[in-house]
Chains A and B, each alone.
Chain A
């Protein structure tokens, strides 16, 4: 169930667009912030609120990397592996982090704490290598620094 608070935030977002459907991305961020992911039930509920067909919401959820259609580990840590980062060792770093946390890219750790990923360009080439942990950028990384960031996650 989408909470009343989130629902009213979604409705406020809808006011800001000439067409209600324009608010779909902000609305999805809101419901994901509340639930951690966007379930089928949430898709149906959101479609109802926004006057869309459920299939239209599903299309957007499955298109974007930052929307999840199933329960997620508590944290997402994604290393940028685009060309400048790779030249500065991002791929090696990612492999070492896999070893450190004991799980491959895309496979959540057993304790459900974390999943590693890789991203295409995050626009921080000048600070390569870098990774995004949840909503924060961590730049000019070396292995020890990266490990300590991951180790600090609850």
Chain B
């Protein structure tokens, strides 16, 4: 429709507000309470415009009408705005120079109005007396600066879906309030910072992390991607180049996160500037042999008392090393690895890449191990994460990646969240799950722990640990019996249905309910909710995959989706939520011992030939060893030399006491990392690497979205780019690698794949592209895959029925509890990065074990007690937390804390197909610590 604004004829779309239409035409209307991402409320009245009526209309809520004539800047309107500003300013803190928002972000919208109208509130009695709330370590609350625009309330409700902020009181006494009006730091706030990001005044402002802000136009805004989880949120770092520092981070518009961030993404970037960064190559001193752990925590010495905890004390470790030049260090690495290769054979070498490194680095690293070392012994932490899911997916539907994006939940009638603590591990994805639930998607949560997302569920089933297969088989039994399945889909697109139907017939809800500890009718209700939905997505996490029967767990979820025809259409599909920012990409790039890039088997002669001719070397026809198998081989002595780039197996792998022996037993270990990790204590050579913040590369998120991460900082000291180091090692070992840029590496990698074939750094654009992408110049890429055929030999998906089997190490009288392990919102894997960020460490400084209050009182234990948790493999002492989140008979420990390493206790048994260790189930006892 045509409307006129300030005399200009403008085309406005149907339903647009005057504010939207003016904005699209580049006409600026001042506003305080409105943000385009939020429902408009029209409370600040600063955006009033003249539409020829008796009174002025608020542009943010008033919709355009055909032929409307709008004036945005008459002297009457400006006078009106000046008065409003004067009124608001009279209630503001008097010292405008000290405004926190100006100092932190340089964008106080109210002060901008004050300047525009020269209205400073001085003509009115000055208000005062509203207090500061400094209880949060992340956000400073200044109630005096609050203008009650409700932006923070709406951001918390509508964007992050956390519903923490509200209003209390009325009239002049109104204030924003957290939960039931408790201080912010004691509320259920998860510190995502969305409220501070949308606040137009100094009321809600980040506590500074970086250096003091200089004028905003002197900062450089660098578009990048968050370095933490697989959600891969697009963000912008505001960088002070002169001081080589990040000042703050801001969410960026992308089809995935749509500007939202969580506490890690928004506040967890200062690790890169931590003083403990490695700056020079280090070589182990002669007197530090025979090799072994150096720090007390890593040696495993403890006196049974809970330790204060914290990151490694360099004074304990550094004396065992001397500084070296890059030439000396690289020569030594090349010589020692070559010697082992030539003396003991290529399979005596192994490499761990990292899911935190880029696609380019992952590709080069596996090329180094395969072509230069001559072995397929290359793996990374996907083995500890979704290896079983990928095994089941490749077997069932011929592709290991997600079949639809997490955002597609908006189109789903139902969503099953299986074994995933989404609000902690994929926080921004969880905001979309909660949003979908509000709009009518039925949310089904199945988990032994009552995770926070369960509070939003339509159905929550607390199954006993390790009974997933029985539960999902029973769901399928009900769906088949009640004919809720999709017959046409089953007949046209799948095979082996009869075998599934026969097997699940043995799992009626009565039998499965007894195994799982769930009422049979609850299983029926869930089956009906899932089976009768027009479309349904299955999301799953480590609760499914990290078991010795992880592949079977995933097979059941795949079968459930196939049975109900829920793959290949909008709002339906399979989505294993990827943990690390680049675990999808590192797997795609071939950091897997059985496959080259793009899951091409190393055992297929034709494929091997293709890679041999591309790389110019003869390649090993045998699949390599996986992560835990490599540790076992090191212990036995068959693997003698290792190159570890950006992984910390000492803490991340199961059964730490065994890993310690394995790492000590290596003839030669080179660790390339940004800090002295626990693993580095066993190294002969330590190479100072580049952090995420210092390099260019691509990262593939859980949605298959390939995005570019850009450098924002200079590297410290003599630290070097990881890909250059890999090239140098390879070249010195007689396999020259020479690339001009990461983009050139990407092109070589993409050329050897189908999934990435059309992509290049140049066509990824601002928000990346989904793979596979037939036309990246024009198209974002397909959200939903496999709408007509599966990438299997006959184009059909395969049902793979699975019997329920009990866990490997069941609780008994000596070890009566099941130990479950996992992550916290604020921390990341082995804590190397997050424990070195100010905010994350301040919020979650300490290890703990969580237990149900009933189990606590039955064992005479109280909240806050120091307790010792023991398994048959080790013991740790830490603080007890009692919470009904846990189920009776099970305890939970986070995996991030070196001083109370959960993996001292875990079991290093492996899933036969995925080779993933059992992180989620072992038997322990808990007793009061002396």
Q: Residues on A close to B: CB < 8 A? A: 40, 43-44, 53-56, 58-59, 62-63
Most chain A CB inside 10 Å of its own CB: which residue of B164, B167, B170, B180: B180
B163-A58 in contact (CB<8A): no
Some 10 contacts from A to B, beta carbons below 8 A apart, are A40-B180, A55-B165, A55-B179, A56-B163, A56-B166, A58-B166, A58-B180, A59-B166, A62-B168, A62-B170
CB-based closest 6 A-B pairs = A55-B166, A53-B163, A62-B168, A59-B166, A40-B180, A63-B170
Q: Is B77 located at the chain interface by the 8 A CB criterion?
A: no
Q: How many residues of B contact A (CB 8 A)?
A: 13
The residue in chain A whose Cβ has the minimal distance to the Cβ of B181 is A58
A43-B169 in contact (CB<8A): no
Q: Is B177 located at the chain interface by the 8 A CB criterion?
A: yes
The residue in chain B whose Cβ has the minimal distance to the Cβ of A39 is B180
Which residues of B sit under 8 angstroms from A54, Cβ to Cβ?
179-180
B180-A55 in contact (CB<8A): yes
A-facing mask of B151-186, CB < 8 A → 1, else 0?
000000000000111111110000001111100000
How far apart are the CA atoms of A53 and B179 in the complex, in Å?
Answer: 9
* Given known A-B contacts A40-B180, A43-B180, A62-B181, A55 and B170 have beta carbons under 8 A apart: no
- Closest Cβ of chain A to B142, distance in Å, is 20
A62-B169 in contact (CB<8A): yes
How far apart are the CA atoms of A55 and B163 in the complex, in Å?
Answer: 7
The residue in chain B whose Cβ has the minimal distance to the Cβ of A58 is B180
- Closest Cβ of chain A to B555, distance in Å, is 36
How far apart are the CA atoms of A55 and B177 in the complex, in Å?
Answer: 8
B177-A58 in contact (CB<8A): yes
Which residues of B sit under 8 angstroms from A44, Cβ to Cβ?
180
Which residues of B sit under 8 angstroms from A63, Cβ to Cβ?
167, 169-170
Q: Residues on B close to A: CB < 8 A? A: 163-170, 177-181
The residue in chain A whose Cβ has the minimal distance to the Cβ of B165 is A55
Which residues of B sit under 8 angstroms from A56, Cβ to Cβ?
163, 166
Which residues of B sit under 8 angstroms from A43, Cβ to Cβ?
180
Most chain A CB inside 10 Å of its own CB: which residue of B169, B170, B181: B181
The residue in chain B whose Cβ has the minimal distance to the Cβ of A57 is B180
How far apart are the CA atoms of A53 and B167 in the complex, in Å?
Answer: 13
How far apart are the CA atoms of A86 and B179 in the complex, in Å?
Answer: 39
Which residues of A sit under 8 angstroms from B178, Cβ to Cβ?
55
- Closest Cβ of chain B to A41, distance in Å, is 9
How far apart are the CA atoms of A12 and B168 in the complex, in Å?
Answer: 28
The residue in chain B whose Cβ has the minimal distance to the Cβ of A59 is B166
- Closest Cβ of chain A to B169, distance in Å, is 5
Which residues of B sit under 8 angstroms from A59, Cβ to Cβ?
166-168, 177
The residue in chain A whose Cβ has the minimal distance to the Cβ of B168 is A62
How far apart are the CA atoms of A1 and B179 in the complex, in Å?
Answer: 19
How far apart are the CA atoms of A53 and B170 in the complex, in Å?
Answer: 19
Most chain B CB inside 10 Å of its own CB: which residue of A40, A43, A55, A62: A55
The residue in chain B whose Cβ has the minimal distance to the Cβ of A47 is B180
Known contacts A54-B179, A58-B181; can you find 12 more A-B pairs with CB under 8 A?
A: A44-B180, A55-B163, A55-B164, A55-B165, A55-B177, A55-B180, A56-B166, A58-B168, A59-B177, A62-B168, A62-B177, A63-B167
Which residues of B sit under 8 angstroms from A53, Cβ to Cβ?
163
The residue in chain A whose Cβ has the minimal distance to the Cβ of B157 is A53
The residue in chain A whose Cβ has the minimal distance to the Cβ of B173 is A62
Which residues of B sit under 8 angstroms from A58, Cβ to Cβ?
166, 168, 177, 179-181
Which residues of A sit under 8 angstroms from B164, Cβ to Cβ?
55
How far apart are the CA atoms of A59 and B165 in the complex, in Å?
Answer: 10
Which residues of B sit under 8 angstroms from A55, Cβ to Cβ?
163-166, 177-180
- Closest Cβ of chain A to B43, distance in Å, is 15
- Closest Cβ of chain B to A71, distance in Å, is 16
How far apart are the CA atoms of A59 and B163 in the complex, in Å?
Answer: 12
The residue in chain B whose Cβ has the minimal distance to the Cβ of A62 is B168
- Closest Cβ of chain B to A82, distance in Å, is 16
How far apart are the CA atoms of A43 and B166 in the complex, in Å?
Answer: 14
How far apart are the CA atoms of A44 and B170 in the complex, in Å?
Answer: 21
Which residues of A sit under 8 angstroms from B170, Cβ to Cβ?
62-63
How far apart are the CA atoms of A63 and B169 in the complex, in Å?
Answer: 5
How far apart are the CA atoms of A58 and B174 in the complex, in Å?
Answer: 13
- Closest Cβ of chain A to B286, distance in Å, is 63
- Closest Cβ of chain A to B150, distance in Å, is 11
- Closest Cβ of chain B to A54, distance in Å, is 6
- Closest Cβ of chain B to A57, distance in Å, is 8
- Closest Cβ of chain B to A144, distance in Å, is 35
How far apart are the CA atoms of A62 and B169 in the complex, in Å?
Answer: 5
How far apart are the CA atoms of A110 and B75 in the complex, in Å?
Answer: 59
How far apart are the CA atoms of A43 and B179 in the complex, in Å?
Answer: 10
- Closest Cβ of chain B to A107, distance in Å, is 18
Which residues of A sit under 8 angstroms from B180, Cβ to Cβ?
40, 43-44, 54-55, 58
The residue in chain A whose Cβ has the minimal distance to the Cβ of B164 is A55
- Closest Cβ of chain A to B476, distance in Å, is 31
The residue in chain A whose Cβ has the minimal distance to the Cβ of B178 is A55
Which residues of A sit under 8 angstroms from B168, Cβ to Cβ?
58-59, 62
Which residues of B sit under 8 angstroms from A40, Cβ to Cβ?
180
How far apart are the CA atoms of A40 and B178 in the complex, in Å?
Answer: 13
- Closest Cβ of chain B to A62, distance in Å, is 4
How far apart are the CA atoms of A44 and B168 in the complex, in Å?
Answer: 16
How far apart are the CA atoms of A150 and B179 in the complex, in Å?
Answer: 38
How far apart are the CA atoms of A40 and B181 in the complex, in Å?
Answer: 9
Which residues of A sit under 8 angstroms from B179, Cβ to Cβ?
54-55, 58
- Closest Cβ of chain B to A63, distance in Å, is 5
How far apart are the CA atoms of A58 and B164 in the complex, in Å?
Answer: 11
- Closest Cβ of chain A to B433, distance in Å, is 17
How far apart are the CA atoms of A43 and B163 in the complex, in Å?
Answer: 15
How far apart are the CA atoms of A62 and B163 in the complex, in Å?
Answer: 17
The residue in chain B whose Cβ has the minimal distance to the Cβ of A41 is B180
- Closest Cβ of chain B to A119, distance in Å, is 14
The residue in chain A whose Cβ has the minimal distance to the Cβ of B163 is A53
- Closest Cβ of chain A to B379, distance in Å, is 45
- Closest Cβ of chain A to B698, distance in Å, is 40
How far apart are the CA atoms of A143 and B177 in the complex, in Å?
Answer: 41
- Closest Cβ of chain A to B149, distance in Å, is 16
- Closest Cβ of chain A to B796, distance in Å, is 43
Most chain B CB inside 10 Å of its own CB: which residue of A53, A54, A58, A62: A62
Which residues of A sit under 8 angstroms from B169, Cβ to Cβ?
62-63
How far apart are the CA atoms of A92 and B181 in the complex, in Å?
Answer: 36
The residue in chain B whose Cβ has the minimal distance to the Cβ of A64 is B170
How far apart are the CA atoms of A58 and B177 in the complex, in Å?
Answer: 9
- Closest Cβ of chain A to B722, distance in Å, is 45
- Closest Cβ of chain A to B731, distance in Å, is 60
How far apart are the CA atoms of A78 and B584 in the complex, in Å?
Answer: 67
How far apart are the CA atoms of A40 and B165 in the complex, in Å?
Answer: 15
How far apart are the CA atoms of A58 and B163 in the complex, in Å?
Answer: 12
Which residues of A sit under 8 angstroms from B166, Cβ to Cβ?
55-56, 58-59
How far apart are the CA atoms of A16 and B166 in the complex, in Å?
Answer: 26
How far apart are the CA atoms of A63 and B177 in the complex, in Å?
Answer: 12
- Closest Cβ of chain A to B228, distance in Å, is 27
Which residues of A sit under 8 angstroms from B167, Cβ to Cβ?
59, 62-63
- Closest Cβ of chain A to B172, distance in Å, is 13
How far apart are the CA atoms of A65 and B168 in the complex, in Å?
Answer: 12
How far apart are the CA atoms of A53 and B165 in the complex, in Å?
Answer: 10
- Closest Cβ of chain B to A32, distance in Å, is 16
The residue in chain A whose Cβ has the minimal distance to the Cβ of B166 is A55
